[in-house]
Structure 1
Amino acid sequence: MYIMAKDIPAQTLDAVRQPIETANGLPNAHYISPDVFAVEKQAVLCANWAGLAVAADVPEPGDAKPIEFLGMPLLLVRDRQGRVRVFQNICRHRGMILVSEPKKIEGAIRCPYHSWCYSTDGKLVSTPHVGGPGHNTHDAIDKSLLGLIEVRSHIWFDTVFINIDGNADPFEEVHADLIARWSDFDQPMYHGGADSTFVLPVKTNWKLAVENYCESYHLPWVHPGLNSYSRLEDHYNIDEKGKFSGQGTYVYRQLKGDDGAVFPDFADLDDKWAEGGEYITVYPNVLVGVQRDHAFVIVLEPVSFEETREHIHLYYATPQTDDALRAKNTVQWRGIFEEDLFVVEGMQKGRYAPGFDGGRFSPAMDGPTHCFHDWVAGKIADHVARA
């Protein structure tokens, strides 16, 4: 039977929102039920600022990239003025998909069905034969009212965030504390290019990828190489309840090339970044990391309730970096992220155990994960109350 928002038991959400010492994690249905996932899409992913892509996906004016988000066909475009925008990827005439693969828009965005054309800023500019053969206008067709449907968007940390339902508070207000925390990195960042991005398909619910990323508790067993120099005891929790969470390290070791070369640092950083790094989840689905000489963005694409794609992008302080060192960095990060795959896929399988009640949290080590569970439960509870 289809689960409506009102059918999600309030007591299970209350149990998640208890203090960490007594709280349970989100119950199994939140990971293995397509019906609960349908509720979660509205309450968590569409009602908040979800990550869609990075602006570097459309680097030049006229670049367009079709993206599917929760089954919705969207189009990422950099318009002629250089602004990155998100539109529904459909013609306003008969709902035909406009762009089927990444491309450069040389003239206008042309529908392949009846050739209605749109500018890169979404305006309907041409409706050939709409009034009959040779008549390109009709009194009933007001082009000013039939532009592309734009999706509310905001760019921070080169990440394109979207608010599908259009009702979220402004991004700058929602994430004011995180923006202030990382104000040192409010400066140009340069995508490393084709060799600095990759996608990891994972058979897991998107939330488990967040939960694993948030905490450092698993380092000694899952990342022994990383833990050999950035040990568990060198890490600290970032627990900003209701806002964001993650982890940081006091021991960041710069990658060096065979000749001892390192990446250039970002400019004018506080001394704390000389040997430190932080790794934070921008709720709901964007994972970001900063170090003195490079940063990364991971956009989690929830494909289904048990399938996720991790889109990883690496950024640097200068537009040009050493090719070999950049490739080495990509290999290193890919290896670290791949070490996590068996964990998040194993937890997904574990959610089919009927006796599991969502688990318990270590008050000392699991604060970041509990913060995320509390935030998700709060958003669903608010949605349930409005249903």
Structure 2
Amino acid sequence: MSSEPTNLSAVRRPIETAHGLPNAHYTDPAIFAEETQALLASQWAGLAVAGDVPEPGDAVPLEFLGMPLLLIRDRDGVVRVFQNICRHRGMILVDAPRKIEGAIRCPYHSWCYSTQGRLVSTPHVGGPGQNTHEGIDRATLGLIEVSSHVWRDIVWINLSGTALPFEQAMYKMIDRWAEFDQPLFHGGDDSRFDLSVNCNWKLAVENYCESYHLPWVHPGLNSYSRLEDHYHIEEPGEYSGQGTLVYRQIRSEKDGSVFPDFEGLSGKWNEAAEYISAFPNVLLGVHRDHAFAIILTPETHDRTTEHVHLYYATPDTDPDLRARNTHQWKQVFEEDIFVVEGMQKGRHSPGFDGGRFSPVMDGPTHLFHDWVALKMDQYRNGPPGIRAAE
């Protein structure tokens, strides 16, 4: 924890008089370490997508907040997340994406685990040729499982194990987009890309959830979905964002066709689209004919990786149209890079006091700052522990 905790009282004021978060929340590694616990480990954070492990036995090693994790689809088809370490001596179990054909075998002493995490084999643990020992209780030495939940293909995790069940913690967002509670299909390799940005992850959230910057940063998008066509989305404690009343479908240059719509949508979605920052680190977008998710992975206090995935209503879509859609969104998201990196540089100015908010235009961003300040205050008054699941 920082030796000098930041004063966040001004952040929690009404928007008319509130300040933004202090500079240290973007530039101080000690504050970053605090926030990883208060904002990321104790909440439902986005880790990856279930599409990364499409078949039973598929396993992908990942790192989140410095913790080695293993994303796996078990033999029954259930997506699980484990700490990627052997319970014997802490060796990394899986060092590259692969198919688990039998058991998860530790390369050090060959202790083996099922895809459900059970310890199933301990060769020579009682001496040569003795594969059991009364001091080694396999039933209590399975892999350490991390609480996880799959929604909209995103694998959400709660490292602390202290959050409410996902359906309770995120019920307002689930209800808001209940019409989209139907199958969605990842577009494949041409519908995913990563962006590396030199900024604190919170700046990506702040920028995404407001439309105020559209006329200057996204002139192409603003040419048809104008600033005045947008509305705020604000749900204290859970998410904030923006919507547009003018969504223009992308059309094939060959025959004018469009992507198939999601089924049974109300008339609102004929022309509307919504973009929400699900606190802490997932950015979501829905349209009548496609959706996307951006998972923000904080690498350091001033470096973030954005993992972008696009989805469709049917498994087979026009590859040319898909590629154009990916290119279009990549261009939009790349237009934001100079902004978030510029704000990161600006946070090194000692005279900057966190800035102010437009009472009319900055509501979603202020809501996020208020959430950060609230969670930080709660953490400082009693930080949650990391649960070691059995």
- Which residue identity does 2:371 align to in structure 1? W
- Which residue identity does 2:283 align to in structure 1? L
The counterpart of 2:5, out of the listed 1, 5, 8, is: 8
Q: Distance in 2 between matches of 1:121 and 1:64?
A: 12
Counterpart in the other structure of 1:162: 157
1:244 aligns with 2:227: no
Counterpart in the other structure of 1:225: 220
Counterpart in the other structure of 2:264: 268
Q: CA deviation at 1:67?
A: 0.6
Q: CA deviation at 1:156?
A: 1.2
Q: CA deviation at 1:154?
A: 1.1
State the secondary structure of the residue aligned to 2:117: coil
The counterpart of 2:298, out of the listed 299, 302, 316, is: 302
- Which residue identity does 2:259 align to in structure 1? F
* % identical aligned pairs: 69
Q: Distance in 2 between matches of 1:251 and 1:50?
A: 30
Q: Distance in 1 between matches of 2:294 and 2:238?
A: 18
Q: Distance in 2 between matches of 1:262 and 1:368?
A: 32
The counterpart of 1:207, out of the listed 202, 222, 227, is: 202
1:358 aligns with 2:357: no
Counterpart in the other structure of 1:23: 18
CA RMSD of aligned residues (A): 0.9
Q: Distance in 2 between matches of 1:180 and 1:307?
A: 33
Q: CA deviation at 1:134?
A: 1.6
- Which residue identity does 2:5 align to in structure 1? I
Q: Distance in 1 between matches of 2:332 and 2:48?
A: 22
Counting matched residue pairs gives 382
- Which residue identity does 1:8 align to in structure 2? P
Q: Distance in 2 between matches of 1:107 and 1:198?
A: 31
Counterpart in the other structure of 2:387: none
- Which residue identity does 2:105 align to in structure 1? R
User: Once the two structures are superposed, what CA deviation does each residue of 1:311-358 show, in whole Å capped at 9, x if it has no partner?
Assistant: 000000001111111111111111110000010000000000000000
1:69 aligns with 2:46: no
Q: Distance in 1 between matches of 2:264 and 2:40?
A: 35
1:80 aligns with 2:75: yes
Counterpart in the other structure of 1:152: 147
User: Once the two structures are superposed, what CA deviation does each residue of 1:122-173 show, in whole Å capped at 9, x if it has no partner?
Assistant: 0111111111122211111111111100001111111111111111111111
Q: CA deviation at 1:245?
A: 0.2
Q: Distance in 2 between matches of 1:103 and 1:330?
A: 27
Q: CA deviation at 1:286?
A: 0.3
User: Once the two structures are superposed, what CA deviation does each residue of 1:24-54 show, in whole Å capped at 9, x if it has no partner?
Assistant: 0000000000001111111111111111111
Provide runs of 4+ in structure 1 moved above 3 Å.
none
When normalised by structure 2's length, the TM-score is 0.97
- Which residue identity does 2:272 align to in structure 1? G
State the secondary structure of the residue aligned to 1:15: coil
State the secondary structure of the residue aligned to 1:263: coil
Q: Distance in 2 between matches of 1:300 and 1:105?
A: 28
Q: Which runs of 5+ in 1 are unaligned?
A: none
Q: Distance in 1 between matches of 2:117 and 2:261?
A: 39
User: Once the two structures are superposed, what CA deviation does each residue of 1:235-273 show, in whole Å capped at 9, x if it has no partner?
Assistant: 111121222100000000001111211100000001100
My pick for the range that moved more, 165-174 or 201-210, is 165-174
Q: Distance in 2 between matches of 1:242 and 1:79?
A: 33
Q: Distance in 1 between matches of 2:238 and 2:137?
A: 43
Matches within 5 A, 1:282-297: 282-297=278-293
- Which residue identity does 1:384 align to in structure 2? R
The counterpart of 1:337, out of the listed 310, 333, 336, is: 333
